[in-house]
């Protein structure tokens, strides 16, 4: 089991390498390899979930290989880089999420007919990068895989997008590139700040580097931050560097416009992966680095997080009401939901952190589901515009039904995964910020408003516009198309009805994490 994470990350890369030498027209085999690669990785992720020690809050499946040492990194202090993987109760659910969404996206990519090879290669690299980001236990490893996702999604948008794909792809690249710069600054700052108080050097490390050296290994950093916590001043500036990176990375208002363009221009499987998984990375950074290593700064500025979160909730919801394009609506809805997570992190309570993790997973599944359904509808009717659709329930009952489930799940209907996330995170946020949270609950009403309006416009009423014209040829979901829908719906329902399947994994870790921030 030691190498399970390595397998998870490597398999998509191997799949991509296998696809590379294939002939450009060998669509069937390309698709099969892509599908198999995704599936195998997901199965390993499942194995990791099964083998995971439930009651243990610490990192598990730790794999750490020295990668490089820079001798005179800063003022004569050596810097060590490891190639390290490990998961805990926060990252494992996200690895699972990546597994589920990537398989569904690989199935969805069966519909791609042009430049199939390039599509699968980049998609496999993106998936590998996503796995790597969530499984990384070293800041450099993390950053490396984050950049892999950046490049892979850039090409997926650039090659397979709609008319304005170049604009969107470069906007994506520039925004996230800036975020990466700040993230790198934060990482280096973190390593530098914690190196000065090194008290956790192991004997072999002492032999190799002496008493003072900078490590980018997350486990070592965490250890150090417990034994010799940073002063408030250092924590504060690191906090703001990270916060700024996260605000861009996670597309919080007002740094969100790149996400809208990206979603409006990308094809469905890319949207599923970006909206479903990549958009959770920013908040994962927040949970992983900020909450655990910078607790004093978090405590000092948690109101800011809550306020930023609520601004995003309300802004996203109102903008979604005005959206005329389904993808735009889903993008804004995602922004609104990620605001909830920020609110939960601001509450600094174990239950809130658990709600945050649940929300990340739930929103990932639901966003992927929404993009899938909307994409499948657009494939038949030729448009994403809400105003041009209507009465699809009659011609496409299965897709419409799934859209209904996805919309209700996003609204936070009990029995689906959204609700358990919302209630847990609101319990903790109300305890700390009653007024701000009340504003946040407005988002729940507004979510019902925009999703129901759009959904009814699309599926209810008489058939009209594009739907009417396409009615003759429109066929409901085929079997290969229905599988992802049903699987995603099954997961959404499973988490909604039996939240413990996720809760047992998440709870010990968030409890330990909350212990650090006094929650």
Partner 1 sequence: MANEAWLIPAIPLLVYVILLVAGRRISEPVVAGISVSAVLLAFLLAIAVLADVAVNGPTAPTTYAWLDFGAHSLTVGYEVTMLNALMLVVVTLVSALVLLFSRSYMKGDERFSRFYQYLNLFVFSMLGLVISPNLLQFYIFWELVGVCSYLLVGFWYYKPEAAAAAKKAFIVTRIGDVGLFIGIILLYIATGTFDFNGLYTAGGAAFSQVATLAYHGASVPFGMSSSGFITLTALLVFIGAVGKSAQFPLHVWLPDAMEGPTPVSALIHAATMVAAGVYLVARMQPLFAASPVASETVAVIGGITALLAASIGLTQRDIKRVIAYSTVSQLGYMMMALGVGAYTAGIFHLMTHAFFKALLFLTAGSVIHALDTQDLFSMGGLRKKMPITHIAFLAGALALAGVPPFAGFWSKDEILSAAFQSGHYVLYAMGLLAAFFTAFYIFRVYFLVFWGEAKGEKHAHEGGSAMVIPLLVLGALATLSGFLNTPFDPFVTRFLTYGHPLGIGIDPPASLPLILVSVIIALLGIWLAYSVYGRANRGAELAKRMGVLYTLSYNKFYIDEIYHYLIVTPIFTIARAIAFIDRFIIDGIVRMLGELGYTGGVTLKYANTGQVQTYGVLTLFGLVALVAIALGIGGVL
351 binds partner 1 (CB under 8 A): yes
Nearest residue to 516 (alpha-carbon basis) of 230, 220, 247: 230
445 binds partner 1 (CB under 8 A): yes
509 binds partner 1 (CB under 8 A): no
366 binds partner 1 (CB under 8 A): no
482 binds partner 1 (CB under 8 A): no
Q: Output 297 or 411, the one with its CB closest to partner 1.
A: 411
Chosen residue from 32, 383, 456, 471 binding partner 1 by CB under 8 A: 456
350 binds partner 1 (CB under 8 A): yes
67 binds partner 1 (CB under 8 A): no
| Cα 200 from Cα 105, distance rounded (Å) | 43
315 binds partner 1 (CB under 8 A): yes
Nearest residue to 99 (alpha-carbon basis) of 142, 50, 43: 43
Show the site string, 171-200: x = touches partner 1 by CB under 8 A, - = not: x-----------------------------
Chosen residue from 434, 473, 475, 479 binding partner 1 by CB under 8 A: 434
423 binds partner 1 (CB under 8 A): yes
Chosen residue from 210, 415, 515, 518 binding partner 1 by CB under 8 A: 415
Pick the piece of the chain touching partner 1 (CB under 8 A) from 77-85, 229-237, 280-288, 422-430. 422-430
CB of 163 to partner 1, least distance (A): 17
Pick the piece of the chain touching partner 1 (CB under 8 A) from 2-10, 69-77, 191-199, 251-259. 251-259
- How do the residues of the chain divide into helix, strand and coil, expressed in percent and rounded to 5? 75, 5, 20
CB of 274 to partner 1, least distance (A): 18
Q: Output 108 or 349, the one with its CB closest to partner 1.
A: 349
H or E segment at 499? none
Bridge partners (DSSP) of residue 70 are 79
Q: Is 500 in a helix, a strand, or coil?
A: helix
Chosen residue from 3, 438, 478, 480 binding partner 1 by CB under 8 A: 438
Residues 6+ apart with CB under 8 A from 309: 339, 340, 341, 342, 343, 344, 345, 346, 440
Q: Output 331 or 365, the one with its CB closest to partner 1.
A: 331
Q: Output 292 or 459, the one with its CB closest to partner 1.
A: 459
Residue 20 exposure: Cα atoms within 13 Å on the Cβ side = 10
Residue 353 exposure: Cα atoms within 13 Å on the Cβ side = 28
Residue 449 in contact with residue 410, Cβ under 8 Å? no
Chosen residue from 130, 285, 313, 408 binding partner 1 by CB under 8 A: 408
Residue 305 in contact with residue 342, Cβ under 8 Å? yes
Residue 41 in contact with residue 8, Cβ under 8 Å? yes
DSSP alpha helix (H) spans, 266-349: 268-276, 281-285, 292-293, 295-322, 326-347
Residues 6+ apart with CB under 8 A from 45: 8, 95, 96, 98, 99, 131
| Site residues for partner 1 per CB under 8 A | 171, 253-254, 256-258, 260, 315, 318-319, 321-323, 350-351, 354, 391, 393-394, 408, 411, 413-415, 419-420, 423-424, 426-427, 430-431, 434, 438, 441-442, 444-446, 448-449, 452-453, 456, 459-462, 498-500, 503-504, 507, 511
């Amino acid at each position: 089991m030691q190498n399970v994470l390595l397998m998870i990350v490597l398999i998509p890369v191997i799949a991509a390498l296998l696809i590379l030498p294939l002939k450009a027209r060998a669509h069937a085999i390309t698709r099969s390899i892509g599908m198999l690669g995704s599936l195998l990785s997901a199965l390993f992720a499942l194995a990791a979930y099964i083998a995971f020690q439930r009651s243990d809050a610490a990192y598990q499946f730790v794999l750490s290989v020295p990668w490089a040492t820079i001798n005179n990194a800063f003022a004569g202090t050596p810097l060590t880089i490891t190639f390290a993987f490990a998961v805990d109760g926060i990252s494992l659910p996200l690895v699972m999420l990546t597994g589920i969404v990537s398989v569904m996206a690989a199935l969805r990519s069966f519909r791609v007919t042009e430049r199939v090879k390039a599509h699968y290669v980049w998609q496999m690299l993106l998936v590998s990068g996503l796995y790597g980001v969530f499984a990384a236990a070293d800041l450099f490893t993390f950053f490396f895989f984050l950049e892999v996702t950046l490049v892979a999604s850039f090409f997926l948008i650039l090659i397979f997008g709609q008319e304005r794909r170049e604009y969107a792809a470069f906007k994506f690249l520039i925004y996230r590139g800036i975020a990466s710069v700040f993230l790198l600054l934060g990482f280096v700052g973190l390593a530098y700040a914690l190196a000065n108080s090194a008290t956790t050097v192991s004997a072999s490390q002492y032999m190799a580097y002496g008493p003072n050296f900078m490590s980018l290994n997350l486990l070592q950093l965490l250890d150090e931050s417990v034994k010799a916590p940073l002063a408030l001043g250092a924590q504060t500036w690191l906090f703001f560097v990270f916060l700024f990176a996260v605000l861009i990375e996670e597309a919080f208002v007002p740094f969100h416009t790149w996400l809208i363009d990206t979603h409006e221009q990308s094809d469905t499987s890319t949207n599923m992966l970006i909206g479903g998984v990549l958009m959770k990375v920013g908040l994962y950074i927040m949970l992983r680095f900020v909450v655990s290593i910078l607790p004093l700064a978090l405590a000092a500025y948690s109101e800011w997080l809550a306020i930023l979160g609520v601004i995003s909730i309300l802004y996203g919801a109102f903008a979604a009401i005005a959206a005329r394009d389904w993808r735009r609506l889903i993008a804004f809805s995602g922004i609104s939901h990620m605001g909830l997570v920020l609110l939960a992190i601001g509450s600094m309570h174990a239950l809130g952190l658990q709600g945050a993790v649940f929300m990340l997973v739930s929103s990932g599944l639901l966003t992927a589901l929404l993009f899938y359904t909307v994409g499948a509808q657009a494939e038949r009717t030729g448009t994403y515009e809400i105003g041009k659709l209507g009465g699809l329930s009659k011609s496409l009952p299965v897709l419409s039904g799934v859209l209904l489930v996805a919309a209700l799940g996003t609204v936070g209907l009990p029995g689906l995964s959204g609700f358990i996330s919302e209630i847990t995170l609101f319990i903790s946020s109300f305890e700390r910020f009653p007024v701000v949270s009340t504003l946040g609950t407005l988002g729940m009403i507004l979510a019902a408003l925009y999703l129901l309006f759009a959904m009814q416009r699309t599926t209810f009423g008489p058939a009209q516009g594009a739907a009417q014209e396409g009615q003759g040829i429109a066929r409901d979901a085929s079997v290969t198309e229905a599988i992802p829908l049903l699987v995603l719906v099954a997961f959404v329902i499973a988490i909604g009805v039996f939240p413990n399947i996720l809760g047992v994994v998440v709870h010990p870790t968030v409890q330990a994490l909350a212990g650090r921030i006094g929650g």
